[in-house]
Amino acid sequence: MRNASLTAAALTLGCLMLFSCTQEDPSPTPAASSPEAGTDDDAGTNCAKHCGGVCVSGLAPLSGCADTSCAPCPSFPHRAAICNVQQACALGSCDPGYLECDDAQPGCETYGATDPKNCGLCGSVCGTKHASSATCVAGKCTFACAGTFAHCEDDPSTGCETDLATDSLSCGACGHSCQGGACVAGVCQPP
């Protein structure tokens, strides 16, 4: 009799466990999004298209931005391609030190850091007047002036325009005024 009670209890417990297991229906886990569905790519931006089986953004110039092809955007010497706000191929800024001085060429063909005809800016010429040399260093004109001449003006195209021996506004040094007196051999005379 005792064995029959134990058997009935075990059966009841087994049925209860089976019922609770079959009644629980865990929510199915959402399926992982696939790139083919146009979901986010690894960078977290929206997928614009697929190139080589990889979801790419419309802001990726190496895959042509949002263009239907996967061909890279054209790039030019010292000027990389970018994707603009419309997600179309466009030209980016010039590489550091380079300038676009020739409109006929889409690249940045001029190295403005050292070009004495485009020093720091297109058309900024390092003048040679009274200069034994006029060079462009780090985008600024530097002069080796002849004799008593010096470069005192802001305009680099004037070269070594000032004679420190005779200029009463720059007597002996740029900006040293004789206050109305003459400058003789780089020395101010009394007014």
Residues 116-145 have pLDDT tens digits of 999 999 999 999 999 999 999 999 999 999
State the Cα–Cα distance between residues 63 and 65, nearest whole angstrom: 6
Task: Write down the pLDDT at residue 191.
Answer: 86
Which residues, listed in sequence order, are joined to residue 81 by a DSSP beta bridge?
A: 91
Query: Nearest 5°: CA angle at 181, between 177 and 185?
Result: 75
Give the pLDDT band of residue 57 (cuts 50, 70, 90). Answer: confident
State the Cα–Cα distance between residues 15 and 181, nearest whole angstrom: 119
User: Looking at residues 41-60, what average pLDDT do you find?
Assistant: 76
pTM equals 0.60
User: Looking at residues 76-85, what average pLDDT do you find?
Assistant: 91
State the Cα–Cα distance between residues 73 and 151, nearest whole angstrom: 46
Using DSSP's 3-state secondary structure scheme, residue 93 falls into strand
Contacts of 132 (CB under 8 A, 6+ apart): 144, 145, 146
Whether 11 contacts 4, CB under 8 Å? no
User: Looking at residues 73-99, what average pLDDT do you find?
Assistant: 91
Instruction: Inform me whether the pLDDT recorded for 96 exceeds 70.
Output: yes
Which DSSP category does 43 fall into? T
Write down the mean pLDDT value for the chain.
80
State the Cα–Cα distance between residues 191 and 185, nearest whole angstrom: 16
Instruction: Inform me whether the pLDDT recorded for 26 exceeds 50.
Output: no
Whether 122 contacts 103, CB under 8 Å? no
User: Looking at residues 14-36, what average pLDDT do you find?
Assistant: 37
Contacts of 85 (CB under 8 A, 6+ apart): none
Instruction: Inform me whether the pLDDT recorded for 42 exceeds 50.
Output: no
Instruction: Inform me whether the pLDDT recorded for 11 exceeds 80.
Output: no
Whether 78 contacts 68, CB under 8 Å? no
State what percent of residues in the chain have pLDDT above 70: 76
Task: Write down the pLDDT at residue 174.
Answer: 96
| Residue whose tokens read 């997600």 | 87
Whether 162 contacts 174, CB under 8 Å? yes
